[in-house]
Chain A
Amino acid sequence: MMVRLNTDIAAGLFGLAFAAVLWLPRGDMGRLTIMFPRAILVILALLSVALVVKGFVRPGERRVEIPGSPTRLLVVMIGFFAWWAAIAQLGFLVATLVAFYALTWYLARVDGPVEGTRLLKWTPSLLALVLVFYFTFKEVLNVRLPTGLLF
């Protein structure tokens, strides 16, 4: 998918927005603490303005290409955050099993509909993969993975 967008202006505006977010809370900091970030903030703001100006005067790329399907992009993007949120609620193991299944099913549909038998066939390798990583991290590396109600 092609989107018409002046990337110079977009990047410049992003830089200005980023600078603004950090500019606001700088007031109550000590001299030594703010010295460096303030200098960088000023440089960032100048660069951003330069980009915006350049965007009007001599624009660079004016189209943005999103390769592939924007829907799938969005779904997987949201899926990752849902996975993260689910870890806090269900614990790492359960959330990951659910997310793994859901993502695999959703992505495999690109090649055509996925029957129940195929999903079933995947189960052993899928379970093995998740469990191997889960136990390696939990038992060998002593990582305290988030737990849910059961695991």
Chain B
Amino acid sequence: MDMLLQALATLLTFESLITVLLGVTAGLFIGALPGLTASMALAVLLPFTFSMEALQGLIALGAVYMGSIYGGAFTAILINTPGTPSSIATTFDGYPMARQGRAYEALAAATMASVVGGLVGVAFLLVLAPPLARWAVAFGPAEMFWVAMLGLTLVASLSSGSLLKGLLGGCIGMLLSTIGVSPVGGETRFTFGFPPLQGGIELVVALIGLFVIPELLNMAAEGRGALPGVGELRRRDTSIRQVARQVFGKPVNLIRSCLIGQIIAIIPGAGGNVTSLVAYNEARRFSKDPKSFGKGNVEGVVASESSNNVMVAGSMVPLLTLGIPGAPPDAIILGVLLLHGLRPGLDLFTQSGVLTNGFILSMGLAALMLLPVGLLGGRLIHRVVIRTPYYFLLPGIAMVTILGTFALRNSYLDVGIMLMLGTAGYFLRLIGIQAAPIVLGLILGGIAEQGYVQTLMAAVADPVPWLRLLNNTLSKVLALLVLVGAATALVPIWLERSGRLDKVSQEDTP
């Protein structure tokens, strides 16, 4: 307790507060630009932290991390483009809300959800880090395979319309993930003799292409902006208080999403890309009105944004206790810790407890700071987007998209890949293959493959190698969850098809 108070005292200095404020703001804008990921934001910032003291440097990095994960929500809501992969699920309901003229409502809800998520993550990290860390390392190759399979059951709910087409999209995504160097085996695959393809298709590149380009093409074809302009904007005048009532009025959704965020955040390798998708899926599954999801239900935005901000502090559980980065940006924070001679482990919480607790608390502060920065910034960006005529907006978004894609890996080819995937995505959407299952396949393909092949390799000396996939309790439980997940996703579809749900859905839409 002493340590916490001491840590708090070091935080409440002018210098620290300014660092957090600037960090959150910078992170927000970087996160909002598609292509600029949280890892990149931290890497660019890294040299600046060398001249700072250990705590100050960590505070800055934590604030930027928090800001950038949150910033992804802005573009997700306003232009249907997840600024960082962790806000994919925010687009599902955030963008439809924006199209209905409820963009600011969505932004405000995302902000509040992010603040809550950020704070919850910090609380978990402070209180439960050591026991949670034990749970993190229980996930070995076999368990990771099942986690990926569990993720794939999301396809059913992401494919609006035809389940077969959704699965088709998922397979295409998984195959796209296999282009390049194989994670196990080290050979190159599907490069067609073209050396630059050894780099494979980067997730963010595909994400930008599949989400932004079809939207821009639609905008061009229709000859008007996708969001209602100032004139058309319904004068609903949603006040912050009303949004707050919507967000906090359904605490179950918030709590569930935060818990899911925390559980998934500590599984190394799954990270924020998956957290928001799982949280969204569960919000939908448990909702009384699942059909309203994907059509502008604010609960979807809340689920996605609260869970991904839990991840910021949540993924530091395995990092601070065991030195295992839970998500890619954590690797950079690990680097900084080591450079200052701070070795992850329990010592970090005792010997250098003031510093560690200071760092953790600063992330909480950063989460709180999201509220003013986000609400103000949100209003500003929202206004810019709806006031700009679409003939400026379209080339403008295209330019940012091209810049962001290029900047990701300094790759000219990636820009081409992005455009090609985007164009293909436009036509695939026309025939009913959505972008979301493809991206899901791309995220999970690598995880599934690595887990599967590693498990089978480790079992060469066993009589029946594939039994290793169900070797221990955790993997059995996960396998069971996959079955349950698939069943609960498929049964409603089957009921509906056999006509038994028709009555209910008619009542839903009078």
Contact = CB atoms under 8 A, between A and B. Distances in A.
Q: Are chains A and B touching directly in their complex (CB below 8 angstroms)? A: yes
Nearest to B401: A80
Given A22-B175, A143-B406, A32 B457 contact: yes
A99 B395 contact: yes
Contact of B419 (A12, A73, A84, A96): A84
A143 B223 contact: no
Contacts, number: 185
Interface string B388-431: 01111011101110110011001010011001000100101011
Nearest to B179: A22
Contacts of B102: none
Interface in A61-101: 61, 64-70, 72-73, 75-77, 80-81, 83-84, 87-88, 92, 96, 99-100
Interface stretch (B114-122, B213-221, B227-235): B213-221
A14 interface: yes
Interface in B423-445: 423, 426, 428, 430-433, 445
Q: Determine the main DSSP class of A at the interface with B.
A: helix
Given A8-B162, A29-B187, A133 B221 contact: no
Contact of A36 (B220, B403, B452): B452
A108 B172 contact: no
A67 B189 CA distance: 38
A66 B178 contact: no
Contact of B171 (A30, A47, A67, A143): A47
A31 B175 CA distance: 17
B222 A104 contact: no
B221 A14 contact: no
A10 B433 CA distance: 10
B156 to A, nearest CB: 14
Contacts of A104: 391-392, 395
A29 B457 CA distance: 17
Nearest to B420: A81
B335 interface: no
Interface in A107-151: 107-108, 110, 122, 125-126, 129-130, 133, 137, 140-146
B165 interface: yes
A103 B222 contact: no
B44 interface: yes
Given A30-B187, A44-B168, A103 B398 contact: yes
A36 B416 contact: no
A87 B412 contact: yes
B174 interface: yes
Given A7-B430, A35-B452, 6 more contacts: A10-B431, A11-B433, A15-B168, A60-B162, A73-B217, A80-B423
12 contacts: A10-B431, A25-B190, A37-B175, A37-B189, A64-B431, A75-B220, A77-B426, A104-B395, A108-B391, A126-B392, A140-B44, A145-B406
Interface of B: 36, 40, 44, 161-162, 164-165, 167-168, 171-172, 174-175, 178, 182, 184-185, 187, 189-190, 192, 213, 216-218, 220-224, 389-392, 394-396, 398-400, 402-403, 406-407, 410, 412, 415-416, 419, 423, 426, 428, 430-433, 445, 448-449, 452-453, 456-457
Instruction: Return the 4 tightest CB-CB contacts between A and B, nearest first.
Output: A68-B221, A68-B222, A107-B391, A32-B185
